[in-house]
Amino acid sequence: MALMNWSGQLRIGIGDFDKEHREIVDALNALQTAVESGNQQSVTGPLLLKLAGDTVAHFKAEEEMMDSAKYPGMAIHRMKHQHLLEQLSAFLTRYTRNSARMDTHSLNFLRDWVTTHIQSEDMNFGLWLNEHGKR
């Protein structure tokens, strides 16, 4: 069973961001498959690095749009992005030094963070953009 299922509850109404969110969901599901099959280093490492890179690029695009649209919640949203990136960076550092393994707890943390962030912060941002004709 997939770690996450894409659904309407994850759509924020901004096409590019919805597409990127779906790609992040797909990456998390690919990570889960790799972890369950025991491919810790050979497959999981590159998938984890790709997820981190995609997340950085996605956050940058969101923040650029927030800045250009003068989104009033930008400072808090950016701070939440930074917090997750710090956690991802610390995990990647431990992972690349072979002192951490991707496991169910790590996957669940990422799934829960992504779900909560999209359904709260990103949803508010998407609604604000649509209401103010800023898309």
Residue 103 lies in a domain: yes
Q: What is the pLDDT at residue 97? A: 78
Look up residue 74 and give its two tokens: 């930008």
Contact between 56 and 85 (Cβ < 8 Å)? yes
Predicted pLDDT of residue 99 = 57
User: How many CB atoms lie under 10 A from the CB of residue 2?
Assistant: 12
The one-letter amino acid at 112: D
- pLDDT of amino acid 41: 66
Low-confidence ranges of the chain (pLDDT < 50): none
The residue segments making up the domain with residue 116 are 16-31+44-131
Q: Is residue 110 part of a domain?
A: yes
Q: Is 4 contained in some domain?
A: no
Q: Return the pLDDT at 94.
A: 78
Using a 10 angstrom Cβ sphere, with 0-12 exposed, 13-18 middle and 19 or more buried, the burial of residue 76 is exposed
Give the number of other CB atoms < 10 A from CB of residue 10: 19
Would you say residue 3 lies in a domain?
A: no
What is the domain count for the chain?
1
What is the CATH number for 108?
1.20.120.50
> What pLDDT shows up at residue 24?
93
